[in-house]
A and B are shown apart, each in its own frame.
Chain A
Amino acid sequence: MSPDFSSLVHWILFLPLGAALLIALFLRRAGAVAAWLSTGVAFAIAALALRLLTAAPGDTRWHVELAKLGDISLGFGYLLDANARLMLFVVSFVAAWIHLFSIGYMRDDDARGRFFGGLSIFMFSILGIVVADNLLMTFVFWELVGFSSYMLIAHYFDKDYAAAASKKAFIVNRVGDLGFILGLAFCLAHFGTLQFEALAALKPAAGWPWLLGALLMCGFLGKSAQFPLHVWLTDAMAGPTPVSALIHAATMVAAGVYFMARIAFLLTPDVLQIVAVSGAGMAALAGLCALAQTDIKKSLAYSTLAHLGIMGCALGLGRPDLAVLHMAMHAFFKATLFLGAGSVIHGCHHEQDMLKMGGLARKMPVTTAAFVAATLSNCAVPFLAGWYSKDAILEAAHAQNHYLFALLGLAAVATCLYSARMVRLVFFGPANSEAADHAHESPWTMTAPLVVLGLGFSVAAGFAADALIPAAALARVAEPLRAMAFHATSAATLVGLAALALGALAFRYYGRTAGVDSLRADLPRFYGVLEFRWMDTLYGWYVDRVQRRMAEFLAFLDLLLINGVAVRWLAAGVPAVLGYLTGRTLHRGQTRLYALSLVAGTLLLAWYFLAR
């Protein structure tokens, strides 16, 4: 509660904004300075977040009223509970290393100033969501996150696909935000406050209305790319790879999960059920779809979708603590995977097709080591970071609902399959293109983050949690971690081990042919079904066939009915017709006649008024 810590939060929140402002105003052409400024700020934030985490001051609260619009109070404040402090640290820590990686990755880019300015704005937005103490402020930063991801995805704006992808991400997110807004209004109408703590203290007698949770959930669906609003995430790979790492691994998509954990008390069983089912379903499907992607980043994007589904399922099972834990672990290994992919792409001169890679293990040893370590964590090899959270979620599902458990098990299997395929195609076997043949290891700015995040945190974040993440912060996390005292007989662990075994088989399977996808060769129809983008096609049909036509129809109607009939015809047409008919007889151009009618009219009026 001491003011000391709230001022620390001020620094954490506004440092990146200041950096972005400086870059936007003065450093647009000084890319190198901008890069180091932004990175320095990111590391400073990570250090401050660590300080906040270790000092463990209890919950930090701070609130100020920005303005009052009528009866509505526009509040701005911080609420840092254990979840928030952990999230703050994970986000800023991962993001700091991604910043460092970007310095190497974007070295030859002309628009580095814009890029790093965008990263800083993004940091500002995401940290705002983490520290917010009320729904409205969350929404403010929620929107800002959407904007900064729009800006970063559109980094290569001269490419049509990047322009389209940025637009799509923003609009799809806004569809989710529509529900969020309605939820805000609903909450204010029924409970009169938007503060998290005030809401939590309310405990309405009749229970929370399901509608409130359902509306707020829409925001989560958009931001965390849950079905049916998941379509933007795979397209968002059009941005530079570090952006993919930042947005799709560590932060933006995690914001939704974090938010759901924060309002978990509002969610009624109906809503949770929806979240759980859609999450588990998406986890399984997206995992399978990842098998049918040749672009390394797209494949990883589907992998992210699968993990988001798992987190959603954990939320739905009523275990927000596990969801946040998985989000943290996922942030470490998925950031490594994306950064590793970035390093590979950089090494192969911007080749993204996995079928054209191969044999990179010898040319890029550090990248390979980190990537493989993160992949193993991704596959939930026991005692690696991913295992702790994923196994716990499987366990929870097993205890509650066997259908969900089956879906998650399928997801676990799919994870192992696509991971094996990816590693096999990219790093082993012969080089399948000239670019892969001439690949080179990346500079230290890129490999250092890989080592720290991949070989350090992806591997050890679980069992060395006490050493890596200060113990004081683990108030919430420690409990599930300790509960994981390895019970090999549990169903979850058995499923996990079986999945790993299947993964090993897949590794062999994909090694059969070089330059061709084995699954596509063997089961072309199945591959095609997985590759086809069902929802995108549906939305595309809606936009092209329904929305556009309706808009054009309405514009035409407006022109015809309102501008044409009502204005031109009724307001101008009727007098014109009357004028034509009378013009022949009355309008003779004789002034005296006009004067006569004027006098006659005056006399008539006078007679009317006097005779009454």
Chain B
Amino acid sequence: MEHTTLSHHLLLAGLLFALGLTGVLVRRNLLVVYMCLELMLAATTLAMVAFSRFAHKMDGAVFVFFVITVAAAEVAVGLALIVALYRRRGTIQSDALNTLRD
């Protein structure tokens, strides 16, 4: 197999991103939606690393560390919110959470 190119990486990232996006759009369980969101984030991270690797610059790789850090914090907060939501409302189905509509 020949050497992997930037396109390979980007294709993989794009696939992952599309997968995540589909999940976000079609699933109703917030927990799953959240996992799909993380998948999208991972896809972009992958793209960034790839760019960094092929451009021979460290900027992207460094930026990824920031993203990971922020993502970790975000997961903590997000999961806590979902748990709190479940405790209060008894459901985490996104269609049921529509009281802000009016």
Contact = CB atoms under 8 A, between A and B. Distances in A.
A and B touch in the complex (CB under 8 A): yes
Given A592-B26, A599-B21, 18 more contacts: A587-B101, A588-B98, A588-B101, A589-B99, A589-B100, A589-B101, A590-B94, A590-B98, A591-B33, A591-B94, A591-B95, A591-B97, A592-B24, A592-B25, A592-B94, A595-B24, A596-B25, A599-B25
Interface in B22-37: 24-26, 28, 33
A589 B100 CA distance: 7
Contacts, number: 26
A595 B25 contact: yes
A588 B97 CA distance: 11
Interface in B1-55: 21, 24-26, 28, 33
A587 B102 CA distance: 8
A592 B33 CA distance: 10
Nearest to A588: B101
Nearest 9 CB-CB pairs, A to B? A589-B98, A589-B101, A591-B94, A596-B25, A595-B24, A590-B95, A595-B25, A592-B25, A587-B101
Size class of the contact patch on chain A? under 10
Contacts of A592: 24-26, 28, 94-95
A4 B77 CA distance: 82
Contacts of A591: 33, 94-95, 97
A105 to B, nearest CB: 76
| B interface secondary structure, majority | helix
B89 to A, nearest CB: 14
A201 to B, nearest CB: 73
Contacts of A590: 94-95, 98
A595 B21 CA distance: 9
A449 to B, nearest CB: 83
Nearest to B101: A589
A582 to B, nearest CB: 13
Contacts of A587: 101
B26 to A, nearest CB: 7
Interface in B53-102: 94-95, 97-101
A589 B93 CA distance: 12
Nearest to A591: B94
Contacts of B97: 589, 591
Interface in A472-496: none
Contacts of B99: 589
Interface string A571-608: 00000000000000001111110011001000000000
Contacts of B24: 592, 595
Interface string A238-249: 000000000000
Interface string A271-300: 000000000000000000000000000000
A595 B33 CA distance: 11
A588 B28 CA distance: 15
Most buried by B among A587, A592, A599: A592
B61 to A, nearest CB: 26
Nearest to A592: B25
A612 to B, nearest CB: 22
15 contacts: A587-B101, A588-B101, A589-B97, A589-B99, A589-B100, A589-B101, A590-B95, A591-B97, A592-B26, A592-B28, A592-B94, A592-B95, A596-B25, A599-B21, A599-B25
Contacts of B101: 587-589
Contacts of A588: 98, 101
A591 B28 CA distance: 9
Contacts of A589: 97-101
Interface string A402-444: 0000000000000000000000000000000000000000000
A599 B100 CA distance: 21
